[in-house]
């Protein structure tokens, strides 16, 4: 039998071409072509326009039958920042995040490999404008191949510490809240009688989701620069090892508003926020590198505070996070107008 000639079937709807990658096991579906360019002067305005006018693209690529509950995506857009090489909007099963560290690591490689940025020597700068601000990535380049990526975050800070919230089913829980491009609540898994590395994922998710709902209901989140950034993105359960150590510390991030997702990676923006929190508490110093282990895949990111700064009235730090991303495939997805499931679905 002769080889089949691959082609797309006749179709009356949009066709979106993508490149799939993963960072520490966390997927990233990058839109290559087929999506309209969101309107807006800034990347943050484009995020709002995408949410209000083009949500079909998120549902098409993130949800079943083309995606799954824990799919994650990136749409590249023009940036208003003169220093930026590209802008990026981040998609997930329930909406649009303001920052995504695992996506930055993947997009750094992608930018070089797909010709968006010309490789320059052993390490190439790739500046990515995100809804939270400009993130500066540095991509290793050797013998024609991209490699490890490190990035410098937007100013990261601690919003509040030792906040008591009433969590239904668990009682009073003391949490810290910190920002690494998105806001996270932090609490040790031990508070729930759990271990981030050995307990059932379902139990960890239930505890983290309950904390997220409680914090959203009981704590006002504010950001000095934009109300669009002032929301709790998720909860990170930790192993409680917050002091400086050369041993890895593990955590699991559960994020999203209602359809909670589990990050397979150590979570780039979460590592950023956790470093800012540890620095705020005096548990680490500038340039002290900590290693963070994913509780689900045992993959590693490193993080360190590299510079003191401010964010509005908050004392803040610039955090460097590093990790590896890998390609998994390419695809073209079609949407037929008479498909009864064209809007996507998610099995609960």
Residue 133: how many CA atoms within 13 Å on its side-chain side?
19
Say what the pLDDT of residue 2 is. Answer: 58
How many CB atoms neighbour CB 243 within 10 A? 12
Confidence category of residue 256, pLDDT binned at 50, 70, 90: confident
> What global pTM score does this model have?
0.95
Q: What is the pLDDT of residues 318-345, one digit of tens each?
A: 999 999 999 999 999 999 999 999 999 9
Q: Helix or strand or coil: residue 51?
A: helix
pLDDT band with cut points at 50, 70 and 90 for residue 260 = confident
Proportion of the chain above pLDDT 70, given as a percent: 97
Mind listing the pLDDT tens digit for each residue in 41-83?
Answer: 999 999 999 999 999 999 999 999 999 999 999 999 999 999 9
- Distances in whole angstroms, Cα of residue 210 to Cα of each of 62, 217, 336: 24, 11, 38
Cβ atoms of 152 and 128 within 8 Å: the answer is no
pLDDT digits (tens, 9 = 90+) for 105-120: 999 999 999 999 999 8
DSSP string covering 180-218 = SSSEEEEEEGGGGT--TTTS-HHHHHHHHHHHHHHHHHH
Residue 311: active-site member? no
The answer to whether 272 touches 303, Cβ cutoff 8 Å, is yes
Instruction: Please give the pLDDT value at position 3.
Output: 64
**How far apart are the two ends of the chain, measured CA to CA in Å?**
42
Q: Of these residues, 100, 132, 253, 311, which one is catalytic?
A: 100
- Whether the per-residue pLDDT at 146 is higher than 90: the answer is yes
Q: Show the tokens assigned to 20.
A: 């799939």
Supply the pLDDT for residue 215. Answer: 98
Quick check: helix, strand or coil at residue 116?
A: coil
Tell me, what DSSP letter sits at residue 231? Answer: S
pLDDT at 155 over 70: yes
152-164: average pLDDT:
98
Helix (H) / strand (E) containing 45? helix 43-53
Length of the chain: 348
pLDDT value at residue 161: 98
Q: Provide the pLDDT confidence category of residue 21 given band limits of 50, 70 and 90.
A: very high
Question: pLDDT tier at 258 (50, 70, 90 boundaries)?
Answer: low
pLDDT at position 121: 83
pLDDT at 70: 94
C-alpha angle with apex 41: 37 to 44, nearest 5 degrees? 85
Query: Binning pLDDT at 50, 70 and 90, where does residue 12 land?
Result: confident
- Element (DSSP H or E) covering residue 113: helix 101-113
Complete domains list, the chain, with CATH? 15-154+327-334 (3.10.310.10), 156-318 (3.10.310.10)
- Using CA atoms, how far residue 158 sits from 181, 213, 228, 284, in Å, is 12, 20, 18, 14
Q: What is the mean pLDDT of residues 176-197?
A: 98
For residues 149-158, give the mean pLDDT: 98
**Mean per-residue pLDDT of the chain:** 95
Mean pLDDT of 204-232: 97
Which helix (DSSP H) or strand (DSSP E) does residue 50 occupy?
Answer: helix 43-53
Rounded to whole angstroms, the Cα distance separating 306 from 29 reads: 30
């Amino acid at each position: 039998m002769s080889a089949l000639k691959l082609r797309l079937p006749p179709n009356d709807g949009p066709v979106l071409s993508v490149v799939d990658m993963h960072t520490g096991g966390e997927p990233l579906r990058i839109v290559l072509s087929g999506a309209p360019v969101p309107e807006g002067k800034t990347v943050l305005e484009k995020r709002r326009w995408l949410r209000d006018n083009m949500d079909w693209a998120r549902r098409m690529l993130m949800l079943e039958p083309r995606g799954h509950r824990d799919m994650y995506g990136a749409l590249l857009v023009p940036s208003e920042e003169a220093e930026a090489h590209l802008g990026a909007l981040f998609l997930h099963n329930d909406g649009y995040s303001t920052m995504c560290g695992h996506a930055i690591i993947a997009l750094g490689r992608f930018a070089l490999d797909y010709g968006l940025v010309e490789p320059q020597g052993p390490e190439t700068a790739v500046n990515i404008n995100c809804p939270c601000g400009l993130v500066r990535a540095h991509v290793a380049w050797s013998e024609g191949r991209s490699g490890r990526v490190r990035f410098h975050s937007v100013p990261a800070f601690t919003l509040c510490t030792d906040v008591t919230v009433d969590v239904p089913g668990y009682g009073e829980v003391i949490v810290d809240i910190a920002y690494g491009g998105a806001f996270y609540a932090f609490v040790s898994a031990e508070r729930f009688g759990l271990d981030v590395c050995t307990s059932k994922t379902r139990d960890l998710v239930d505890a983290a989701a309950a904390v997220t709902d409680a914090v959203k209901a009981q704590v006002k989140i504010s950001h000095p620069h934009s109300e669009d950034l002032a929301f709790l993105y998720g909860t990170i359960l930790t192993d409680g090892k917050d002091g400086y150590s050369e041993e890895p510390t593990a955590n699991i991030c559960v994020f999203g508003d209602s359809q909670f997702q589990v990050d397979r990676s150590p979570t780039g923006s979460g590592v950023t926020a956790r470093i800012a929190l540890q620095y705020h508490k005096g548990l680490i110093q500038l340039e002290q590198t900590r290693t963070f282990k994913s509780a689900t895949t045992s993959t590693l990111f490193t993080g360190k505070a590299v510079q003191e700064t401010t964010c509005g009235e908050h004392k803040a730090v610039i955090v460097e996070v590093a990790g590896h991303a890998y390609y998994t495939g390419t695809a073209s997805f079609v949407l037929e107008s008479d498909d009864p499931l064209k809007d996507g679905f998610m099995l609960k």
